[in-house]
Amino acid sequence: MKRIVKLNSPISIISHAAVGGGEERRGPLGDKFDFCDITDRFGMDTFETAEGEMGRIALNTALGKAKLSHKDLELLVAGDLQNQCVGTSLGLNSFGIPFLGVYGACSTCTESLLILSSVMENSPDMTYGAAVTTSHNSAAERQFRTPIEYGGQRAPSAQWTSTAAGAFILGRDEGKPSVTEFMVGKMVDGGTADGSNMGGAMSFAAADTILSYFDESGESPSDFDYIVTGDLGKVGSDILKEILARELPGCERFHLDCGLLLYDSERQDIHSGASGCGTSASVLASHLLPLMETGQINRILLLSTGALMSPSSLLQGQNITGIAPLIRIENKGYKKKNTTVNRK
Amino acid sequence: MNEILLKLLLAAICGGVLCVIAQLLIDLTKLTPARILVLYVSLGVLIYAVGLYEPLYDIFGVGMSLPLIGFGANIGRGVKEAVDSTGALGILTGGIGASAGGITLALVLGLLASLIFKPRSKRM
Amino acid sequence: MDNLEKKRLIDKHSPKTKLFKNSALAFLFGGLICALGEGVFLVLTGIGAEEKTAGVLVTLIFIFAASALTGFGIFDRIAKHAGAGTLVPVTGFSNAVTSQAMDSSSEGVILGVGAKIFTVAGPVILFGISSGVLYGLIYFFAGLIF
């Protein structure tokens, strides 16, 4: 079974924007975000609507950068962490764009870009589409964990749901970084029912997708600048690196995790790192795509990792299921191996 | 003066030890904070029932009564006194009666707080 | 990869909780709160309150303090370090009630605050009262027999 899907006419990311909250502003990428609200409320009464507003600001900013109006968009693929995607609908419903909602836990960013580029490739008449992903720490805490002002302690392996949004306008400008391939990941048992260890639970799905990809494509990890995972955090990244080092030695050197880029472990009490689907969306929009646009990096694999679970499934002792869809983003005409980038 | 210091110290030691036991249970076992609180309240009733609470309270004072064990012991005492005075009906009326002050105040303050304050986003 | 191997990898790479630091802080905060409570108790009895009344008042004062600190957004910042030190005294119970009430106010006073206020504190009340009923049954029937 061939699982890698090549796009015959690559779909490019012509514009993008990242929006974040207070902790994201304090993080190392804070300056690169298009907009941050240190109160995390974005002028709204509830955290649910704040998440929607964050997505609205992100989409408007990305549209502005591309000098487009929302009327130019023919499809919106978007999602968030809230039940029935209300984090998206509360902010984006007024745009009046045909909409597909995506719930892939924290894999939403890659999943949206995958679906949107695939639909656009098969619809030659379609000019522009948008993908938006949001997550909000307070909205997620309320839904999945404890009240916001509840005095609890987080486990060292726990991650911090980011208050962040990423919006992407997709089109057919060949001069921009393009989605050229994708591979849909399998659902993989995370081996744990511990909601404080999502990174660990997702790492096996990420390993499965990465190893399957290189097995089928026959390429070498060194053909890529980075193999980027969404939000494995410290724990999940360490597990992934151990598996990769064992199964495909050398591959682990190209690994980069968005969950470890968003916050500063020196100044911020991050525990295992960032999580939430806004993490990979905002890091892609604020950090990775600008690097690609300036030619500092040219080819990446992006795997936003998702942990499928609910408060009920965890209380029932059911294992978390990990997912890790993959997309390949590269600059057109890029052939030769890049050796100038200093890898972490 | 020394007597006061001793009382403060005893209360601190007892409260501290009860908290450390709970912390170790949280960190070393799968027990969640909610389960620990339930355990402590039930333990409080048990300790009162077997007659250990009063002598411990005489020594450690608030160190025994302020942790949730004291909450449980209060329920135990309420039940016992109600059964002594009203018979079988006391089994049902004693518990809530004895803990009514704490529960009512917590609930009313919670309601008030929900009207006055808005939750702020957590900081790391 | 089977689940045993996954479990092994997760355990291997998951950082351990800082047992000593957590326990020391829990002792410190728990001890401090109880010493403070004892101090208040001594003051109250000193100015003529009955011991039983003073005991109840101490509990109520700490419920009030924890609720206020929760309202002003300070409690969770202390509890993050104190852990069981603020959880086990009645302060933890009060915080659980107030924080849940504040959290649910966006869903309205009746079905938000009213329905959800017991979410975190409910188990404590339920099992406290149920333990009391069990004890009452034993105490009552033991009294009939002996």
pLDDT tens profile C33-54: 999 999 999 999 999 999 999 9
Tell me whether residue A261 is in a domain: yes
pLDDT at A268 over 80: yes
Tell me whether residue A259 is in a domain: yes
Q: What is the CATH number of the domain that holds A131?
A: 3.40.47.40
A275 and A243, same structural domain? yes
Residues 14-43 of B with CB under 8 A from C: 14-20, 22-24, 26-28, 33-34, 36-38, 40-42
Q: Are B72 and C124 in contact (CB under 8 A)?
A: no
Minimum distance, in Å, between the CA of residue C3 and any CA atom of chain B: 19
- If you search the block for the tokens 């969640």, which residue do you land on? B32
Q: Which of A171, A202, A221 is the last residue of a domain?
A: A171
Tell me whether residue B99 is in a domain: yes
A45 and A125, same structural domain? yes
Average pLDDT over residues C110-123: 93
Q: Are B104 and A131 in contact (CB under 8 A)?
A: no
Average pLDDT over residues A137-158: 93
- If you search the block for the tokens 């009391």, which residue do you land on? C132
Q: Is C132 on the interface with B (CB under 8 A)?
A: yes
**B120 neighbourhood in chain A, CB within 8 Å:** 39, 148-149
A209 and A167, same structural domain? no
**C90 neighbourhood in chain B, CB within 8 Å:** 66-68, 70-71, 102
Q: What is the pLDDT of residues A163-217, one digit of tens each?
A: 999 999 999 998 999 999 999 999 999 999 999 999 999 999 999 999 999 999 9
Contact A148 C6 (CB under 8 A): no
Tokens of residue B32, six digits: 């969640």
Integer Cα distance of B7 and A331 in angstroms: 73
Structural domain total, chain A: 2
A140 and A226, same structural domain? no
Tell me whether residue A338 is in a domain: no
Radius of gyration of chain A (CA): 18
Instruction: Please state, rounded to an integer, the average pLDDT across all residues of chain C.
Output: 95
A185 and A101, same structural domain? no
Tell me whether residue A303 is in a domain: yes
Q: Is C93 on the interface with A (CB under 8 A)?
A: no
Q: What is the pLDDT of residues A214-260, one digit of tens each?
A: 999 999 999 999 999 999 999 999 999 999 999 999 999 999 999 99
pLDDT at A66 over 80: yes
Picking from C60, C71, C85, the nearest residue to B19 by CB comes out as C85
Q: What is the pLDDT of residues A76-124, one digit of tens each?
A: 999 999 999 999 999 999 999 999 999 999 999 999 999 999 999 999 9
Tell me whether residue B70 is in a domain: yes
pLDDT at A337 (0 to 100): 54
Tell me whether residue A31 is in a domain: yes
- If you search the block for the tokens 């005893």, which residue do you land on? B10
A182 and A128, same structural domain? no
Phi, psi of B88 (to 5 degrees): -55, -35
Contact A46 C15 (CB under 8 A): no
Tell me whether residue A92 is in a domain: yes
A21 and A167, same structural domain? yes
Integer Cα distance of A134 and A338 in angstroms: 32
A306 and A184, same structural domain? yes
- Which string of DSSP letters, residue by residue, matches A231-254? S-HHHHHHHHHHHHHHHSTTGGGG
Residues 35-74 of C with CB under 8 A from B: 35, 37-42, 55-56, 58-60, 62-64, 67-68, 70-73
Contact B27 C19 (CB under 8 A): yes
- CB contacts < 8 Å between A and C, how many? 101
Tell me whether residue A337 is in a domain: no
Q: In terms of C-beta distances under 8 Å and separation of at least 24 residues, what long-range contacts does B33-39 make, across chains too?
A: B33/A152, B33/C84, B33/C87, B33/C92, B34/C120, B34/C123, B34/C124, B36/C84, B36/C87, B36/C88, B37/B68, B37/C87, B37/C88, B37/C92, B37/C93, B37/C123, B37/C124, B38/C123, B38/C124, B38/C127
Tell me whether residue B19 is in a domain: yes
Structural domain total, chain B: 1
Chain A touching partners, 3 or more CB pairs below 8 A: B, C
pTM: 0.93
Domain range spanning residue A287? Answer: 178-330
Tell me whether residue B37 is in a domain: yes
Average pLDDT over residues B4-29: 96
Tell me whether residue A130 is in a domain: yes
**C17 neighbourhood in chain A, CB within 8 Å:** 155-156
pLDDT at A343 (0 to 100): 42
CB atoms under 10 Å from CB of A184, counted, come to 17
Strand A99-101 with A160-161, pairing: unpaired
Q: What is the pLDDT of residues B31-50, one digit of tens each?
A: 889 999 999 999 999 999 99
Domain range spanning residue B93? Answer: 2-116
